[in-house]
A and B are shown apart, each in its own frame.
Chain A
Amino acid sequence: MSVDPYNSQVRTLFAAPMHAGIVAGGKTVLVSDQGVRVELAASAENGQLSVMRFRVWGCPHLVAAAEWVCRHYEGGPVSALEIFPTARIMEDLAVPTEKTGRILVLEDAIQSLGRSLSH
């Protein structure tokens, strides 16, 4: 028996990833591991993430997760990038456990972006 592998949130985020793209003049990081590629870009003003964008080569869960994190962090403090809500993403998007590694690649990208913006 087949069940829908994607919940409604994954379907919505995948269908309309508003934060897909690049940030001209911002900081960009690229992490490639686990057979996926995650690029995050952001610009910050006064310690706040003013714009955040992503590009992903990966499965729908990863695309949705990248859009999710952009919505989560954009507009907030750069320092927030130090904390990555792995469990919440896995739960919200019903990410299968075998894809945990891909979400951790996204975490690596977030942490790398945080370091890049802090320097």
Chain B
Amino acid sequence: MADALIYLDYAASTPVDARVLDRMREVADVAYANPSSTHAAGRLTHEIIAAAAAQLGGLLNVDPGTLVWTSGATESDNLAIAGGARYRAHRGKHIVTMKTEHKAVTDVFDTLAKEGFGVTWVDPDANGLLSPETFAAALRDDTQFASIMFVNNETGVIQDIEALGTICRERDILFHVDAAQAVGKLPIDLGTLPVDLLSLTGHKFYGPKGIGALYIADRPDCHVEPILFGGGQQRRIRPGTLPTDLVAGLGMAAEVAAASIESDLEHLRELRRILWDGIGGIDGVTLNGDPDGFPGILNVSIEDVEGESLLLALEPICVATGSACNSKSQEPSYVLRALGRSDMQAQSAIRFSVGRPTTLDEVEFAARSYRDAVARLRELAPGAAA
């Protein structure tokens, strides 16, 4: 096991499920026509896309017509936030989000701030949670848009989307949820959950990369302005020819997830328990996030150990220091800094993220390796705790 890669970075991306790959191959062979074409081949492609929308709609309990295909969560977030805030701008230009959101959200808020929107950045508590009271206090009479992520990509913290969404509904605020880390991993019933816009991506739940979706609730004054232009596809909200095989793959990933979500969660809880049992007792270890967070993610900091060296010492275990999208940065994680962690604590943070294929042996090996690496690096460091 020591020589083989041990992949514990499922929050960054997941392998494509074999059933998904089979479906994509099958579709790529036959559905090469443009789904907008009215001839028989085009209609076949169109039907395949409609079937995928039904599969994804089934996972989320929504009408397939409420789903817009995108290239992934980043585009979905951009479309939802820029498109939603601009659509509602005539009613008010105050928008709200959290400091711990993904860059695909925060960067769009920064862009909107330059366009003249007023932005309130809400702080989480020390566990990364946002209380409904704190959220409500950030809202103003002119607030028209809010975006809160479902599961944090670095810490696994799960926000109370139902409570936050209810507050938005009471005030008629357009409510977007970045659910890239939640869809296919946690049960989500958009038939009852008060969410207006929800972003997701295929590659976080064993689907292909390059395909995602945005859910747009069928409610009055719930709409987004397009951010791409060039055709009439997808009701002009997101024009462009759809990649049929990727769409079909995402649909299949949704169907697989719908059938296995509970057993997956049970498996992840067991893996996280073993991992935490193995490293939680090390002197100076801190859990980053909520103990009751998403079990697929375990983020820990360690005193007296430098994070980059820890990451290398852990090879061949593939883990993350921050979110993968930001891992080239030398800066400590802004998410962990928002939780009140010191630069040192944030810099030493390691995110273990486990998935459906992860074995008990792998997490036991990872825990042992972490203990050994910490001991070695502490021995290497001057003035460190023994």
- Identify the A interface with B (CB < 8 A): 2, 6, 11, 14, 17, 20, 30, 35-39, 55-60, 63, 98
In contact, B380 and A63 (Cβ under 8 angstroms): yes
For chain B, the count of residues having a C-beta within 8 Å of the partner chain is 15
CB closest chain-B residue, reference A56: B380
B382 neighbours in A (Cβ, 8 Å): 30, 37-39, 55-57
> B308 at the A/B interface (Cβ < 8 Å)?
yes
A14 neighbours in B (Cβ, 8 Å): 309, 312-313
Of the candidates B308, B343, B379, B381, the one whose C-beta lies within 8 Å of that of A37 is: B381
Cα separation A65 to B172 with both chains bound (whole Å): 59
B306 neighbours in A (Cβ, 8 Å): 36, 57-59
Q: How far is the CB of A59 from chain B (nearest CB, A)?
A: 4
A2 neighbours in B (Cβ, 8 Å): 328
> B384 at the A/B interface (Cβ < 8 Å)?
yes
Main SS of the interface on chain A? mixed
Of the candidates B312, B330, B379, the one whose C-beta lies within 8 Å of that of A6 is: B312
Cα separation A98 to B328 with both chains bound (whole Å): 12
B381 neighbours in A (Cβ, 8 Å): 37, 55-57
Shortest beta-carbon contacts, A-B, top 7: A39-B382, A57-B381, A55-B382, A59-B308, A60-B312, A37-B382, A60-B309
Complex A-B: 9 CB contacts under 8 Å: A20-B379, A20-B380, A37-B382, A38-B382, A39-B382, A55-B382, A56-B382, A58-B306, A63-B380
A58 neighbours in B (Cβ, 8 Å): 306, 309
Cα separation A20 to B384 with both chains bound (whole Å): 14
In contact, B380 and A59 (Cβ under 8 angstroms): no
> B281 at the A/B interface (Cβ < 8 Å)?
no
CB closest chain-B residue, reference A10: B312
A55 neighbours in B (Cβ, 8 Å): 380-382
CB closest chain-A residue, reference B328: A2
> B304 at the A/B interface (Cβ < 8 Å)?
yes
Contact with A along B321-357 (1 / 0, CB 8 A): 0000000101000000000000100000000000000
> B116 at the A/B interface (Cβ < 8 Å)?
no
B308 neighbours in A (Cβ, 8 Å): 59-60
B328 neighbours in A (Cβ, 8 Å): 2
Q: How far is the CB of B354 from chain A (nearest CB, A)?
A: 21
Cα separation A16 to B156 with both chains bound (whole Å): 35
In contact, A98 and B330 (Cβ under 8 angstroms): yes
Q: How far is the CB of B23 from chain A (nearest CB, A)?
A: 28
Which residue, of A14, A55, A57, has the highest number of chain B Cβ atoms within 10 A?
Answer: A57
A20 neighbours in B (Cβ, 8 Å): 379-380
Q: For window 282-335 of chain B, which residues contact chain A by CB distance below 8 Å?
A: 304, 306, 308-309, 312-313, 328, 330
Cα separation A20 to B380 with both chains bound (whole Å): 6
